[in-house]
Amino acid sequence: MNYYNEIKDTLVKNEVYKKVKDYSKNRSDLNAYFEVGRLIVEAQGGEARAKYGNRLIKEYSLKLTEELGRGYNVTNLKNMRQFYLRIKKGRTVCDQLQWSHYRYLLPIIDEQAFDYYVMITEMLNLSVRELRERIKSKEYERIGKNVNLENTKVNTLIKNPILIKVKNKNERLTEYALHQSILENMENFLKELGVGFAFIGSEIKIKMGDRYNYIDFLLFNVKYNCYVVIELKITEMKAEYIGQVTKYINYVDKHIKEMHNDKTVGVIICRKENKYVMEYCTNLNIFVSTYETI
């Protein structure tokens, strides 16, 4: 089998197809590059030997560049090979991602991290720049490794720590100053929390008996159809915070949420975790995350 001619024919057909059917050129690219990757691996003697066969890739690159023009340098052909090796492991090519997305994802070694960034890019329709920012901030590591991406819950994609934008990250903030910083950068804060969060209000005034209390932030998650109570603390996690958030959750469930909404969730965002406190929290709808200022 003449692998070079097969590769050349695949790339030529892709270029022709893209000119005729511009609306589906992204899928054409992905399918063509997957096929080229497969052919390169076979030409190199199979998957076990593929990563060592760079001499053949250099040879193909020179000939393709001479006959078809730019775009088929050694790096690009290596990317196509790696693309095939990644996708062949039971994955489906996601045509909502462009080849430029995949090129940025291919260097990620951790398979679950790779799957996470593909999922979140597809779910949120991320641009390459937005994807790059999430990878740079180590978003996958902050949601916790080995997370079950097949069965996500409202807390699954909440990062820990949450990165909060402030004017001076070296300044020790009061709760009021932290609260104001979040208000000034609410869009960024909602993205940090995860998927589907929408802002309802801050300092929500509620009356319990003859006393007034204030919920730091009340959000709604459209993906999981539930209200979310956010409580900010600039200290280590304490047991009394659980009781406070539990009261707020119960209030929202009784006076604000509708029958078709799921149960309200509470998120305590504090400076430092205390795993011993959370061991004795029986409310499975209360979660804790720490924060860092940037």
Q: What is the pLDDT of residue 219?
A: 98
pLDDT tens digits for 136-170? 999 999 998 777 777 888 988 899 999 999 988 88
Per residue in 207-236, is it b (16+ CB within 10 Å) or e — as a string? Answer: eeeeeeeebbbbbbbeebebbbbbbbbbee
pLDDT tens digits for 52-84? 668 899 999 999 999 998 889 999 999 999 999
Between CA 85 and CA 69 the distance in angstroms is 26
Kindly tell me if the per-residue pLDDT of 23 is higher than 60.
no
Is the CB of residue 197 less than 8 Å from the CB of residue 221?
A: yes
Residue 275's Cβ-side half-sphere holds a number of Cα atoms within 13 Å equal to 0
Backbone angles phi, psi at 19, to 5 degrees: -75, -35
Name the pLDDT band for 51 (thresholds 50, 70, 90): low
> 103 CB contacts (<8 Å, ≥6 apart)?
79
Domains of the chain: 3-143 (no CATH), 162-293 (3.40.1350.10)
Per residue in 30-44, is it b (16+ CB within 10 Å) or e — as a string? Answer: bbbbbbbbbbbbebb
